[in-house]
């Protein structure tokens, strides 16, 4: 809604748009979106829309050949294998994928998920000691282990072999064992999540085309979306195929989870995974042990699945209550800071009353609110544990590396990371982190700009267009939902829904109805729309299913006041167009040629023209409008 910031749009080659629309069989609007996303080549665009799997060779992933040989040796010898995972969605799903793949080989396999509160992240020596005592001969890590140099070295003395599979950034030294990871590796795609790496291990073990690889795609999609890895290349193929598999999954635990979360399997998408299913799986590891969630994914008993899903539902409600309390406290603390501290470009907050299992979620919500990287730190035993989230332009892992003198331990990646820290280093770390952010982030990095994929007329906002744009799904990091812009509109019949929480209105452009719009969480801004005026509306065009009917709906991202000169400039150019070419000013001719209007084509939007946007900016600073020749 009308906040600071602006909308921006990249240049777009018109000839390429027209050719792509013809070759692929899509509208010019969708073709503009594809061109702006680097998919102007028809072959690449078709491969993207079809989410064709790239079929990268799993043996290129680090020490895959050595790892496969060692696992097969263990299976043949009857050695007990333990899959050691992590307590988030990715670590839990990766554990399930690896366990199921090893069961296909008739391996003697068990699993272990660490406790966030007792062992912490990754391999712990007491855990390895216990596994050795229980007769385990081989430990296979999933979604962890890349930094466990000392722990792997100690495992050898216990008679344990270790294979590390991971996707996190390695430190300066790798563990002394086979490492199957995206880094270091000659694998052509480096953005797999931990479950994606486990899936490639399963492919190497079982062989391409094994039916188990298809059966586990529901788990792979769940983790790929939940772990916020870029949904491009192989991740896009895995998520797309996995969502289709999830819609018809035979896994009792996932069916029970969807019932509990009120997710229609036939309509499950990346949004349902990210905001309905993943939080319930994560809730177990955030508030207690994650074993409940893994048991849910592995069970073959319908009644047991219902019981476990109900347990996760209750944990998720508890998680929401704790999260809301901490968010209120952290927000109030930031707003109480003096001005100079609030202006710092990176925030670190800590409190001994905060729950370490939910501070990562709160950090993410604070990033959304304050447009800065945030690290939240909670008391944990004799020390403190932190979790950070970042903005798109800030490398959080790099920032922690720059501040490592203040930290006991840290790990993660560019967008999210965790750390351990001593009490006497908190203040120094907060200052160092803020100083690093101040140095790395400029004012433009803090501005809440909205990147627009295409400018459209209200008349184009139809159900077929919404369905066509949905072909670009699944959406997420690296492939955001499509943002359209309709300019110079009126907000008609404004009101609120959802007990006043959400704002609803109809869009009208030049007297033509453009459909229904909803702005979630913006009900308190109803007064902004009751005073009239024209707006530029940035939105996502979605299918709205209600009472058995389907209609297009504009889901509002931002609402900007239209520049005062927009309508006047539009009318002036319109008059020149109608008067004929002999009346065109040089400026008008430049706009018309950029839009291809000189060739007799109509319906293209003025704001798609860089020349028009330049004219509009010039008139905003007092320059005269272009006049007819």
Q: What is the mean pLDDT of residues 411-440?
A: 94
Share of the chain above pLDDT 90, in %: 83
For tokens 């188990």, what's the residue? 212
Q: What is the pLDDT of residues 244-277, one digit of tens each?
A: 999 999 999 999 999 999 999 999 999 999 999 9
Minimum mean pLDDT range among 424-438, 441-455, 475-489: 441-455
Looking at domain 7-37+453-561, its CATH class is mainly beta
The pLDDT of residue 611 is above 80: yes
Mean pLDDT of the chain: 93
Q: ∠33-269-550 over CA atoms, to 5°?
A: 80
In 421-442, which positions are buried (b, 16+ CB within 10 angstroms) versus exposed (e)?
beeebbeebbebbbebbeebbe
Token pair, residue 304, equals: 């047991």
pLDDT at 1: 46
Band (pLDDT 50/70/90 cuts) for residue 156 is: very high
Backbone angles phi, psi at 585, to 5 degrees: -75, 160
pLDDT at 187: 97
Share of the chain above pLDDT 70, in %: 97
The pLDDT of residue 373 is above 70: yes
Distances (CA, A) of 128 to 112, 117, 134, 137: 10, 17, 10, 11
pLDDT at 154: 96
pLDDT at 600: 62
Band (pLDDT 50/70/90 cuts) for residue 602 is: low
Q: What is the mean pLDDT of residues 163-185?
A: 94
Beta partners for residue 181, in sequence order:
166
Query: What DSSP line would sit under 521-547, residue for residue?
Result: T-GGGHHHHTT---EEEEEEEEEEEET
Classified as helix, coil or strand, 77 is helix
Minimum mean pLDDT range among 79-93, 98-112, 394-408, 521-535: 521-535
Distance CA 433, CA 526 (A): 39
Judged by phi (left if over 0) then psi (alpha if -120 to 50, else beta), residue 593 lies in alpha
Q: What is the mean pLDDT of residues 502-531?
A: 90
3-state helix vs strand vs coil in the chain, percent to 5: 50, 20, 30
Distance CA 48, CA 399 (A): 34
Q: What is the mean pLDDT of residues 56-78?
A: 98
CA Rg value for the chain:
27
pLDDT at 10: 93
User: Edge-to-edge strand order for the sheet containing 383-389?
Assistant: 347-351, 374-380, 383-389, 416-421, 409-412
pLDDT at 621: 52
pLDDT at 530: 80
Band (pLDDT 50/70/90 cuts) for residue 413 is: confident
Q: Do domains 7-37+453-561 and 337-438 have the same CATH topology?
A: no
Helix runs in 337-378, H state only:
339-342, 359-370
Closest residue by Cα to residue 572 from 588, 586, 561: 588
Closest residue by Cα to residue 215 from 103, 79, 317, 54: 103
Token pair, residue 356, equals: 């370490």
pLDDT at 392: 86
Query: What DSSP line would sit under 132-181, residue for residue?
Result: HHTTEEEEEESS--TT-HHHHHHHHHTT-EEEEEE-SPP-SS--SS-EEE
Q: Are strands 484-497 and 535-546 parallel, antiparallel or unpaired?
A: antiparallel
pLDDT at 629: 42
CATH number listed for the domain at residues 58-314: 3.90.1640.30
pLDDT at 620: 66
For tokens 């290349």, what's the residue? 233
Q: What is the mean pLDDT of residues 554-564?
A: 92
Band (pLDDT 50/70/90 cuts) for residue 522 is: confident
Residues 6+ apart with CB under 8 A from 33: 453, 454, 469, 472, 482
Distance CA 581, CA 443 (A): 44
Q: What is the mean pLDDT of residues 151-168?
A: 96
pLDDT at 628: 46
Q: What is the mean pLDDT of residues 283-312?
A: 96
Q: What is the pLDDT of residues 5-29, one digit of tens each?
A: 689 999 999 999 999 999 999 999 9
Distance CA 157, CA 155 (A): 5
Backbone angles phi, psi at 498, to 5 degrees: 65, 50
Sorted by where each begins, the domain ranges of the chain are: 7-37+453-561, 58-314, 337-438, 566-620
Q: State the CB neighbour count (10 A cutoff) for residue 201.
A: 26
Q: Domain 337-438 maps to which CATH number in 3.40.605.10, 3.10.310.30, 3.40.50.10260, 3.90.550.10? A: 3.10.310.30
- Residue 392 vs residue 552, higher pLDDT: 552
């Amino acid at each position: 809604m009308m906040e600071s910031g602006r909308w921006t749009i990249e240049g777009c080659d018109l000839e390429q748009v027209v050719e792509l629309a013809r070759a692929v069989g899509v509208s010019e609007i969708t073709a503009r979106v594809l061109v702006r996303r680097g998919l102007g080549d028809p072959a690449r665009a078709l491969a993207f829309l079809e989410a064709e799997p790239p079929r990268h060779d799993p043996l290129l992933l680090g020490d895959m050949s050595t790892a496969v040989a060692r696992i097969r040796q263990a299976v043949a010898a009857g050695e007990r294998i333990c899959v050691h995972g992590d307590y988030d969605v990715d670590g839990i799903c990766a554990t399930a994928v690896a366990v199921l793949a090893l069961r296909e080989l008739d391996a003697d396999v068990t699993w272990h998920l660490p406790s966030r509160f007792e062992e912490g992240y990754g391999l712990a020596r007491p855990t390895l000691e216990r596994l050795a005592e229980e007769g385990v001969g081989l430990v296979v890590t999933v979604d962890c282990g890349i930094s466990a140099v000392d722990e792997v070295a100690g495992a050898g003395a216990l008679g344990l072999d270790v294979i590390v599979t991971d996707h996190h950034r390695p430190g300066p030294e790798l563990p002394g064992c086979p490492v199957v990871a995206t880094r270091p590796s000659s694998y052509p795609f480096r953005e797999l999540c931990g479950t994606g790496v486990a899936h490639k291990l399963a492919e190497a073990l079982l062989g391409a085309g094994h039916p188990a690889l298809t059966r586990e795609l529901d788990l792979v999609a769940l983790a790929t979306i939940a772990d916020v890895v870029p949904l491009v290349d192989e991740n896009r193929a895995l998520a797309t195929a996995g969502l289709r598999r999830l819609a018809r999954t035979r896994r009792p635990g996932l069916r029970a989870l969807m019932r509990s979360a009120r997710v229609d399997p036939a309509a499950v998408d990346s949004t349902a995974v990210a905001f309905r299913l993943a939080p319930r799986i994560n809730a177990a590891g955030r508030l207690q042990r994650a074993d409940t969630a893994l048991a849910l994914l592995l069970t073959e008993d319908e009644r047991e699945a219902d019981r476990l899903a109900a347990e996760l539902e209750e944990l998720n409600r508890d998680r929401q209550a704790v999260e809301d309390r901490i968010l209120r406290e952290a927000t109030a603390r930031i707003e109480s800071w003096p001005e100079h501290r609030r202006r710092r470009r990176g925030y670190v907050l800590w409190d001994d009353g905060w729950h370490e299992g939910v501070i990562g979620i709160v950090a993410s919500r604070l990033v959304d609110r304050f447009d800065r990287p945030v690290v939240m730190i909670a008391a944990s035993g004799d020390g403190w544990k932190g979790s950070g989230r970042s903005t798109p332009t800030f490398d959080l892992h790099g920032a922690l590396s720059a501040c490592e003198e203040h930290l006991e331990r840290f790990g993660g990646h560019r967008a999210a990371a965790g750390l351990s820290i001593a009490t006497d280093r908190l203040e120094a770390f907060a200052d160092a982190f803020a100083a690093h952010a101040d140095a790395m982030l400029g004012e433009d990095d803090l501005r809440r700009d909205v990147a627009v994929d295409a400018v459209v007329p209200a008349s184009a906002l139809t159900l077929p267009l919404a369905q066509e744009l949905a072909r670009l799904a699944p959406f997420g990091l690296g492939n955001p939902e499509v943002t359209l812009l309709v300019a110079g509109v009126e907000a008609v019949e404004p009101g609120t829904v959802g007990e006043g929480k959400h704002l609803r209105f109809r869009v009208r452009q030049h007297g033509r109805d453009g459909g229904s719009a909803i702005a979630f969480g913006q009900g308190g801004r109803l007064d902004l729309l009751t005073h009239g005026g024209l707006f530029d509306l940035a939105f996502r065009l979605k299918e709205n299913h209600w009472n058995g009917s389907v209609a297009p709906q504009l889901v509002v991202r931002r609402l900007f006041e239209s520049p005062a000169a927009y309508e006047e400039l539009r009318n002036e150019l319109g008059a020149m167009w109608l008067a004929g070419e002999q009346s065109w000013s040089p400026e008008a001719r430049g706009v018309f040629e950029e839009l291809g209007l000189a060739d007799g084509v109509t319906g293209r939007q003025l704001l798609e023209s860089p020349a028009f946007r330049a004219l509009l900016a010039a008139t905003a600073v007092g320059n005269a409008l272009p006049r007819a020749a």
